[in-house]
Structure 1
Amino acid sequence: MEIDETINVVPYDVQWPILFQNEKVNLFKAFGDDAIDIQHFGSTSVQGMFAKPIIDVLVGVKTLELNNSVSNKLIELDYEGFGETGVKGRLYFRKRQEHAYNLAVVIWNGEQWINNLLIRNYLRDNPHVAKQYAEKKLNAIHKGYTTLLSYSDEKADYVSNLLEQAKKSIG
């Protein structure tokens, strides 16, 4: 399967945190001691936020060299791997079934780990910013950016600015 896919944005679903918690249990079993921490991130982790109905999961590891046991267990959980896919320091996996999941496997407490959690926490702490971001997402869809890659490109500058705002907010 190729990386690009058709996407949509939907209103917040109260099931998203529950789906994350259930998948987190499976992922800790798959990663074993290789996973230091597993966090819910992305828009589905921000209460009230419009989002793609895909649960984003951040897996913090010591090394991106995953052993065969972990890779095989992810395959058993129906994840497919795409490597770094243009994001240095992140291994991307996804599962598309009744519920959809994206895994970002990154170095725990590394740049990808810190930046993704900074944005999540900033959006959680600033509902007015989360609302603006949701409007940006909906506008992107309405303008016809309905594939993953075009949608991601359309909002890339906005996300970059969000990260800068989040960094400034912590001093």
Structure 2
Amino acid sequence: MAERTKVIEVVPYDPAWKAEYRRIEARILDIAGDLIIGSEHVGSTSIEGLWAKPVIDLDLVMESYDKLPEIIRRLQQFGYEHQGNLGIEGREAFQSLQDDGFMKYHLYVCPKDGKGYREHIAFRDYLRSHPSARDEYQAVKQRLAEEFRYDIDAYCEGKTAFVQSILQKAAQNRNTI
């Protein structure tokens, strides 16, 4: 089971998050880089200017699920626990079982055509290119963090409608290009 956030804290954007992502990515690529076709910094810390919970989200992209058993085996050798998809299709979660010297992070392994991966990228890219949507999302997150400071489930549920609306807009933008 994923480590549960006890206190929801949304903090101002920190440019150091990019460097921390690169440090984590380098570590993971050393372990399983030959089994993946790419990696992406996703989630709120990947969107310049957006306040966020200080947690890096990293998607490793694999060609297909055929690679997953070997990825699991390799990551387990280095202290990572496979947690399954945690209810999100097209995304396999992993948690480091030791202090590895990084800030808190979520590691996901996704097939290149997986729903979870496609949605992570669509959401990130839309907010990066639409500052008003980014600012609106920030306001939602700040309000929810105040209202549900000790309830991560309510915080996440409170973001759902906004996230879905952005994913719809992102899909419409792709269809108009």
Query: What is the CA RMSD across the aligned residues, in angstroms?
Result: 2.1
Residues in 1 aligned to 2:17 and 2:151: alpha-carbon distance in whole angstroms: 22
Deviation at 1:168, TM superposition (A): 1.5
Residues in 2 aligned to 1:17 and 1:112: alpha-carbon distance in whole angstroms: 22
TM-score computed with the length of structure 2 as normaliser = 0.85
Determine the structure 1 residue equivalent to 2:87.
Answer: 86
Superposed, 1:114-133 pairs within 5 Å as 114-133=118-137
Q: Which 10-residue stretch deviates more, 42-51 or 106-115?
A: 106-115
Contact 1:94 1:100 in 2 (8 A): no
Alignment coverage as a number of residue pairs:
170
Determine the structure 2 residue equivalent to 1:47.
Answer: 48
Superposed, 1:4-153 pairs within 5 Å as 4-6=4-6, 7-64=8-65, 66-68=68-70, 70-75=71-76, 77-95=78-96, 97=99, 98-153=102-157
TM-score computed with the length of structure 1 as normaliser = 0.88
Identity value in percent: 28
Residues in 2 aligned to 1:89 and 1:48: alpha-carbon distance in whole angstroms: 28
Distance of aligned partners of 1:124 and 1:77 in 2 relative to their CA distance in 1, 3 Å threshold: farther
Distance of aligned partners of 1:2 and 1:122 in 2 relative to their CA distance in 1, 3 Å threshold: closer
Contact 2:11 2:51 in 1 (8 A): yes
For the residue of structure 2 that corresponds to 1:40, the secondary structure is: strand
Residues in 1 aligned to 2:91 and 2:173: alpha-carbon distance in whole angstroms: 25
Deviation per CA, 1:44-73: give whole Å up to 9, x if none.
0000101110000111112335235x3354
Contact 1:3 1:82 in 2 (8 A): no
